[in-house]
Structure 1
Amino acid sequence: MTASQPTPASAATLDAQDPLRHFRERFHLPPGPDGQPSVYLCGNSLGLLPKAARAAVEQEFAAWERLGVEGHFHEPSMWMHYHETLAAATARLVGARPLEVVVMNNLTTNLHLLLISFYRPTVTRYKVLMEGGAFPSDQYALESQVRLHGLAPEEAIVELVPRPGEHTLRTEDIEAKIRELGASLATIILGGVNYYTGQAFDMAAITKAGHAVGATVGFDLAHAAGNLELHLHDWDVDFACWCTYKYLNSGPGGTSGVYVHERFANRPDLPRLAGWWGHDPSERFQMKKGFRPMPGAAGWQLSNAQIFPMAIHRAALALVDEAGGMAALRRKSEQLTGYLEALLRGLNLPATMLEIITPADPAARGCQLSVLVHRNGRALFEHLAQQGIIADWREPNVIRLAPVPLYNSFQDVQRAGAAIENWVAQAE
């Protein structure tokens, strides 16, 4: 596909050239007010239902019905080893080795489990660095983790904020703050992509800077997994976790992924909260005292696998692989998002009315564009909904638009741009 001026004709041409266009048919698109498929630009909040998901779950229902408890040990399901069947695809998704990943629990549970191990404050090294305005769950998790160690959040937590008049963080400012904190910095935990602005952080540079001062470095990849090409192992990231219900289309409240670098694979001395599914499987059913963690990320498991959410997730991961992996999805994503940006900028609106606060550099953003609407933003959001365009509203005045490469088309983006243009014309 090549770049074109954003017109209905060019959108149709780009869709015809799109090698991933047929994947749209593999999802259920919610109907709009007119009964026709909506323009769904809300994958940054909840991805769509893959058509393969229902059959994947039905297979597990059938195994439960036919085998009962023996479903743990017999084909086709083998629930005893179900989490292992997700390791290879998960590793490809985030640029890791299979030993370094596991699917379990949900996102904030996993964040807490990882912070128990990787936020180990001392008298002198106790500070934790995060982005200001991080997703509330991350803020609450860090506040409570700090308090568990008898520390005051206002003293231990350092928040990164943009320069005056700017909406996003500069990498050089993040690095400078890391150097400034130096030996007092215990842990860095940032979102891979900021949920509000859509900014993608330079995780490799941040990890390098953190390690240079002796800090552990982790990322909440809720808005990055399935959105960006990730290379967690090569970037030397210590730990990460992510949800699967946004860009990974694995269902509301779905399961979560965890990454722990292989240098911690055989560290039974590393403090953690333990459960029997993370115990050495050769001894698991001996029911003995004394926790012996499995090697790698699997040693952070607590309970046996959530089979039904994992079945959906396995079907969704298969679609990513079938599409050619994140490299292929990212190529289309950059084009879709660039097309949307061109449409919005082509309106030539003053920044006092409508302002894109997501970075213009494709390398510094995912597929989400956050639009700051200075006047009547809620009215624009409701206008889009009336036109069958499902976007996302964030208080006080931001509309998030996320064209997802697996199921969105250039004509979807064209429709969204035309609806915004129509609203502007009516507002003037």
Structure 2
Amino acid sequence: MRKELSLRSFSSFFLISVFLCFSSFDSCNARKSKHLKENRSPPSYTTEGHVGGSSTIFNVLDFNAKGDGTTDNTKAFLDAWTNACKVAGSTVLVPSGSTFLVGPISFSGPNCQPNIIFQLDGTIIAPTGAGQWGSGLLQWLEFTKLKGITIRGGGVIDGRGNVWWARSELDDSQIYADSKMPSTKPTALRFYGSSDVTVTGITIRNSPQCHLKFDSCTGVQVSGVTVSSPGDSPHTDGIHLQNSQDVSILGSNIACGDDCVSIQTGCSNVNIRNVHCGPGHGISIGGLGKDDTKACVSGITVRDSVMHNTLNGVRIKTWQGGSGLVQDVLFSNIQVSEVESPIVIDQFYCDQGKCNNQSAAVALSNIHFEKITGTYTVNPVHLACSDALPCTGITLSAIQLQPLQEGRTMSSPYCWQTYGELLSPNSPPINCLRTGKPSISQGPSDGSC
């Protein structure tokens, strides 16, 4: 009897164990199947972006962009931007290994979320025919009214400006072979009305006109940027600043056909450091005051930079007839080589055939040149200030400039209506600087800013 009960108990235990095992097996398989299904879901479109979090990525390829160098991708880029614009800290990705033809385009705010990143790893090229330019535009790629906008990466913006510079018929291999480019040449990359702007790592080359422009911006950081155009390409400024404050331009290489950096009216607190310029026209403040306008520039520092094979080194240029003030400027530790005129103030600037003499002028004060060394080919120092409104507070220290060809007769340092002080011996001797204060009373044309 006991044996029969024992066998029955064992059988019951065995059947229950088998049932539980199969139940457990089915349950594990179910979990495993669920896990596999989850792994088959679309990959996440997030990656590490700006400091402080992750960034949603909008790859232009996912919006039907074709990186073949010939298809017009303007709509695809706009569609990617429209989606990124809705997400704070998002990224528009232009991937490496592809070339994207893009027409004139505006990546616009002000309703965009902040801190958008434009990750440029590939190459963007401009159209080479008049069909997409109409009668001419002032810019090609434009970012307007944005907060916390960043363009970064190792990619290239290529304006293919040779068709604009030559103003000649396009050959048959180009898109619009039977047309000429319009007379209005665009800036390659422009930022307008934006704050906390960062541009880093990218290359901009062969712009039809100015390469990189900041207009009415605050909090601008430019670093590790390369600008590359031939020295004879007309009006191709490297970086152009206008009505912009709190700007840093660091560690960049600029080769162009005009000013490597151009600083215009409305700019203040600008720091330029470790810039290599050449070919080009040097680093310039101005021209200011054209067409009797008022110009206000202050707090400009240019230091630890190199100028090679440039028209000028560091320069301030103003038109006669203007008003306003340039003050508190420092040019320090500038190495020049094969530069025509390393140190220039020109208050009689005129890039036309003839300009009228006028007594009104932009006032210049507290301008400091120190540790400017190297070789020149024409004139080491040229300081030509206004007759009616002489320059004041001009200082020169540790200037060591030698003619490129030893023994060749060169122009001596030139000064006109320039008042200031020599703070150390200089070579060549700068004996033309006036001491004290000008006897000419400054009238209303000194225009406080």
Question: Larger strand proportion, structure 1 or 2?
Answer: 2
TM-score scaled to structure 1, two decimals? 0.23
Question: Larger helix proportion, structure 1 or 2?
Answer: 1
TM-score scaled to structure 2, two decimals? 0.22
